[in-house]
Each structure stands twice: as structure tokens, then as C-alpha cells.
Amino acid sequence: MRIIPVLLLLLIFSCTATSQQVSIIPKPLSLTVKPGRFLLTANTPLIAATAGEEAGAKIFNEYLQQYYGFSLPISTSQNGGNKGIVLRTRNFIKAPDKDAYQLSVNQNGVSIEGDTHAGTFYGLQTLLQLLPVDKHQGDISIPLVQVQDAPRFDYRGMHLDVARHFFPISFVKKYIDYIALHKMNYFHWHLTDDQGWRIEIKKYPRLVEVGAYRDGTIIGHYPGKGNDQIRYGGYYTQEEIKEIVRYAAQRHITVVPEIEMPGHALAALTSYPNLGCPGTGPYQVAQTWGVFDDVFCAGNDSTFLFLQDVLDEVLPLFPSPYIHVGGDECPKENWIHCPRCQQRIKKEGLKDEHELQSYFIQRMEKYVNSKGRTIIGWDEILEGGLAPNAMVMSWRGEAGGIAAAKQKHQVIMTPGSHCYLDHSQSTQEDSVTFGGFTPVEKVYAYEPIPKELNAEQAKYIIGAQSNLWTEYIAYPLKVEYQIFPRMSAMSEVLWSAKGQRNWPEFEKRMQTQYKRYELWGANYSNAYFEIKAAIAPTKDNSGLLLQLESKDRQATVQYGISGLHFAKNYTAPVLIQQSGEVTALVNRNGKIIDSTTIKFRFNKATGKKVSLSEQPAPNYPGSGAFTLVDGVINEKGMDRTKEFIGYNGKTITATIDLGSPQDISEVRLHTLFASGSWIYPPQEMEVQVSTDGKTYQRMGSARELLAKDPVKGYLGVVIDAPVQARFVRVKAQAVQKIAEHMAGAGQKAWMFLDEIEVL
């Protein structure tokens, strides 16, 4: 973590009123805008005295040429005083803010001075954001500014999974360009997994001849609606890897490769079956998602020799100080039954298979350390004992990162709740995503340093990272759709001082950033402008009120009940008192920007008073208790997890007041089943009723999920002889421990609850 010099802190609030005209993301420490403009022409010299400065100048010129149709003459000497764009690098290697820079624009020219070449490069990225956000022909007018800036965190990362879906090097370079434009400095490249091995290893050619290809891919959301049976794959040659690493280094980005071990190894095992435990197999490169029992055999010395050989070819390709070894989601089922693994446990004096995994990682760490590198592992490497020098990447919330920091290990925070960009960012997502709901404002609100750490422990949090897993992302356009605008939000989380961050002010700057995406030709999500629909009960609990809103201030929100033939402009909450559909849209000057249809299904509990014995998890709050009686039943499964309330391993009770005694013949609790995401239906649902709210009578229980869809359905209790009652109590008990061979084995299951229907 950076310690910001006092001088810079004093400058933070030096912005003038006119600085609002300038939109820079991530927000700099200090920005002052002065009257006047500097005119940038094709004849403006770009002065770069060192090789590092010249490399940055060439990249700046490439941007100018691509988007504005001209480039500047680069010179190594300054003959015209301060005229032109002058780059200077001080190279204060031991400075507190080694990547700090100063940018000054006056009427005669531009001066950028960096503490390092990276700092100078970041100054150039800021200068790019002073240029027009539309393709421009001719001279460019630049505002006069003074900027002093430095990053908050050392590690500012973006991740890309190329194992589930493969992306060509042309797009990987484009992805790196996006990282550079946001002043981020680490690219985590996920190269191997169950679904594909993507890096050439010359000693083991079958890794790409066999492991880089699968014979089909599931259709739709896991567990899928069939298989396309289309051979799919690809890999990067070592020369292509070198090309990417060079390209990134020119932009001051370190490429961190990930070679998964001991789990997520099916592609490798399919290529070399001898690396699996005896009696397992035959193997095939995975055609579906999730977690598989087939992992590297920890009792076989050949496994370690193989991985050492792989690393012997990987390490020279990547000069990164860090090598990611995975370590996540490793089922122990095969190890339990493997005589070689059990012999290893006995020989090494290990307690169980969790300590065997720790042995595996520690053994590989020693080898990596012997080559002068440090390993990074997902937070599962804490289980069974943390390797002595390992860095932890905390993804299952922040607990792993907190534990590692308290043990004085460096940590990169990347909790799924805020940092997983494969989650939906729209409440009305119409494409297949992993699920979850992580809008741009949630990403922006993330604070990488947990409050549980004191000042000394906080020093071990070196940064954070956004992750993009690509199970449901097969094309570059979908990658762009998933990362923008959330990548911009994360860049500010990691670069800007904590006290600088301000969501309303960031929203204003984002209006320019959206236009910048259009300049780049990036396929960004417009979820920010979508219709936000909120449902509330009427005061007398006799119906529902539908509230509609869009942040597009140039547009009109319109709606129609059961069709748009009689569309009305939205001016006040819409009263809903029966089943039906409401279609709403955002109309900007006759162009439909967004639309959504909400299906209401009324029952005796809809809109009634409801209470919970325990509030849902902060990550999955839904609309609180009212989620259970809002009249809307989830139809999109994991793509709309915002429509559920979530609990982790809890038993909860919901009590509904129907307002008056009603005949009750059946009670249904709608829920979700997505084992790959650790989400299970309640292991039991119990229904009780009462006439006075004090004495309750048990009506029955249910354990079976009734579903036409593999991921969503309901548990229902049918009452043989209908009863009259005013109060209905539904008790739901979550699965306490996920089975050993499943994703999240040994963990408490998540339980997602939707509508309670009283029929």
C-alpha cells in the first residue's frame, strides 16, 4: 500500500470550479484547471530523451493516429524551450511514490514528469483523457491543467480466463490496452483449467495436441440444456506468449500466469493420464463447468516432476516476480481412496487430505522460490497450513485475506461479491451470465482494506483485482460488455486516495467515459441507464406499488399494463392489484434505450406484512423480507439472483400476516438450485399456521424440489383438509455441509429464497 506524501494530501482539494469540465478516471490526487487552452497540432514535437520515454511516446502516438488521424514527431532533444510535449523521468527508485507523476499544460505546451518511466507513462494516459471523446480531424484544443498524482496500491489487477473460452492474441493485446488506459499494472492470465490447456509446453506436446481441445460444450446455464458437440479449443505458442509479455511490459503491465494445481487439472490428465490417481479415469477435457474429482495425484512423484518441468518452461516466458499456482476447489475424494496419496500422508506425518494439499503447494512453492519467484494461490491454500512465502488471493469473501494478512503474508483482495465481473450488472440481464448481481456502483463502493485489520496488518494488503471467468463469455464483444463500465470503477478504487472517492461525482465523470468507450469502439453495458423497478406494499397491504426510474435524464420512462398499446408516461408509482404484466421502457427522443417486462402473480400472501427471524446476508439482501411477498417469481435463475434473499448455512423463519383469516390449501416456497455456485434448496421446509399469531399448528414439511427447470423450483406443502388461518409461518433449513465431491466441498451451502405462495 502506498503512503501518500503530506504535500500531495494538501493538494487534493486544490481543484478550481472549472475542473468539473475535465473528466479523468481514475481520479487524480490533485487537479487544477486554469483559463485558456493549448493547441495540439500534427507539428507539435513530442520530446522523449530516454528509451523508456520513447516507448511511451510511441504508444501515445498510436492512440492519436488511431482515433484522431495524426501522430506527432518524436525528438530526443528539446530545442524549443518548453514548447511541445516534454517527457521527463526522475527515476527516484526509492521515492515513497515511485510511480507518481506531475502533468502541467500551459499555452506553450505540456510537461509530464514521472518518478519512474511507469509514472511518466501514467501521465501520458491522463493526457489522453484531456483529448476530445469523439473522432476528431485537425488540431486539438486541450484545457490548461495542473495534475499531481500517485497510485494508492502497488497491485492494480485485471484477470482473464482463457481456459473456458479461448481468445486470440489480437484481443489479448486489446485487453491489455484497456488495462493500460486505466493505469492498472497487472494482468492475471488464467491459462489452464479442466476445459482447456492454453500454453505450449515443448517437453509435453500432448498438453496442446490433446488438452487444448474439447469435443463439445454445454448449451446454456450449468448444468446445461444439452451439448453442442462442436470441437472447441486453441492455444498460445511460446513465441506468442513472449509477444504478449513484451506488449504488456511496454505498457508497464506485469503478466502473471496461472498454472492450476492440484485441482482443475482435467485437461492435463487427459493429455497424460499417468498423473492421476490409480483407478481413476478415463479422462476427457471437460465439456461442462463446475468442479471435478479428477485432480493431480499428490502421492505420485511423477506429478511433481511434471509440474517442475512445466514451470521450467513457463518461468523464462514470464519475468513476473509472481507465479499463480491456483490451489482452489480441489476435491479430496480421489486422494481419500488413492493408496499412493494415503502413503504420502503417512510418510510425511500429515493429519488428513487438507494437509496433503498444503504439502503439495508447499513442495511446489519451494521449487518456485528456488527460481527466485513467489507463488500466488487462491485462499484455499490457507487450509492445512499456508506455504511459508505464499501470497494469497482472497476470493471467497475477505476472510482468507484477513487471515493471511494477520499471518504477515501479502494479500490481493478479489472477493466475488465486488470483484467478479462475470456476474450480471443488470437487473434485466438478457444474456447468460454466471449469475450474481454486481452493478458498477457496488464495484465502486469496494474498500480493499478490511476494517478488521489494524494499520500494521493493513500493509500486507498490496492491492486488489477484478476477475473475469469466461464459462459464459465466448467472444470479445461479451468480454467488453462484462468489463465496462465496472473496470473503470475498479481502477479508481485501486488508484485514487480513499478520501477522494465520491460516487455522485464519479457518476458525472462517467458520462464522458461512456463516450470514450464509444470512441474506442468498445461494447459497453448500458445497465447504468436501464429501468430500475422497485416494488413496495400499499399502506393497507391490499396490493403493490410499482416504482420506475432511469438515470437517463434525457429520456422519458413509459409503461403499459398487459401491453404497450396504451403506454403512459410514468409520473407516480403504479398500483398493481391483480396478476398480469407491466412493460416499461426508456424512451429517448423516440428511441427505446431499455425495456423490461415484470410479471406479477398474485396469491393470498402478495403484498402482506412479513417478518424474518434473521436478516439475509449482506451480499444477497434482495428487498429484505418483502422479497418473499412481492408478487414476482424469479424466472431467470442465476441471472437474476437479486430477486432472492440469501443465507449461508442458516435456518430462518418467515412469518406472514394475511390480514384476516383465509382458507389455506397449499404453501409454496420458491428457491434456487445451483450446486456449481454452492447454492442448494432448503434441506427441509416446514409450514405452520395460526389464527392469533401466538399459537401455531404444524401443517407439514417438504424436502423435494418440485421443478420444471433444473435450477429453480419450489418446495410445497399441500394441506389435505384446507384450514382457516391468518398467520403463516415458513421455516427453511439450509444444507449445513456440501458433499465432498461437489464445488465448495465441506462448506456451508447458500440458500436462496424467493416467493412464498399461499394458495
Give the catalytic positions in this structure.
Answer: 329
Cβ neighbors of 141 (< 8 A, separation 6 or more) are 37, 38, 39, 40
Pairwise CA distance, residues 385 & 672, whole Å: 34
The crossing angle, in degrees rounded to 10, of helices 486-495 and 476-483 is 50
Is residue 667 within 8 A of residue 759, CB to CB? The reply is yes
Angstrom CA distances, 163 to 79, 201, 265, stand at 51, 15, 11
For the chain, what is the total number of helices (H) and then of strands (E)? 18, 36
Pairwise CA distance, residues 590 & 319, whole Å: 54
Size of the chain, expressed as the number of residues it contains: 759
Pairwise CA distance, residues 526 & 534, whole Å: 19
Which residues, listed in sequence order, are joined to residue 609 by a DSSP beta bridge?
657
Check the CA dihedral 374-380-386-387 and report its sign.
negative
Angstrom CA distances, 432 to 221, 224, 429, 523, 750, stand at 7, 11, 8, 16, 21
Pairwise CA distance, residues 737 & 177, whole Å: 43
Residue 81 phi/psi, 5° resolution?
65, -130
> Residue-wise over 188-217: b if at least 16 C-beta within 10 A, else e?
bbbbbbbbbbbbbbeebeebbebbbbbebb
Pairwise CA distance, residues 120 & 47, whole Å: 12
Beta-carbon count within 10 A of 504 CB: 6
Pairwise CA distance, residues 164 & 703, whole Å: 34
Pairwise CA distance, residues 571 & 573, whole Å: 7
Beta-carbon count within 10 A of 475 CB: 13
Q: Could you tell me the three cell numbers for 629? A: 411477498
Q: Could you tell me the three cell numbers for 88? A: 521527463
Residue type, 151: P
Pairwise CA distance, residues 351 & 757, whole Å: 49
Pairwise CA distance, residues 296 & 323, whole Å: 19
Angstrom CA distances, 608 to 426, 540, 724, stand at 28, 9, 17
Taking alpha carbons only, the member of 261, 283, 267 closest to residue 207 is 267
Residue type, 346: K
Taking alpha carbons only, the member of 479, 507, 474, 416 closest to residue 178 is 479
Cβ neighbors of 215 (< 8 A, separation 6 or more) are 229, 231, 284, 285, 287
Taking alpha carbons only, the member of 306, 308, 460, 305 closest to residue 373 is 308
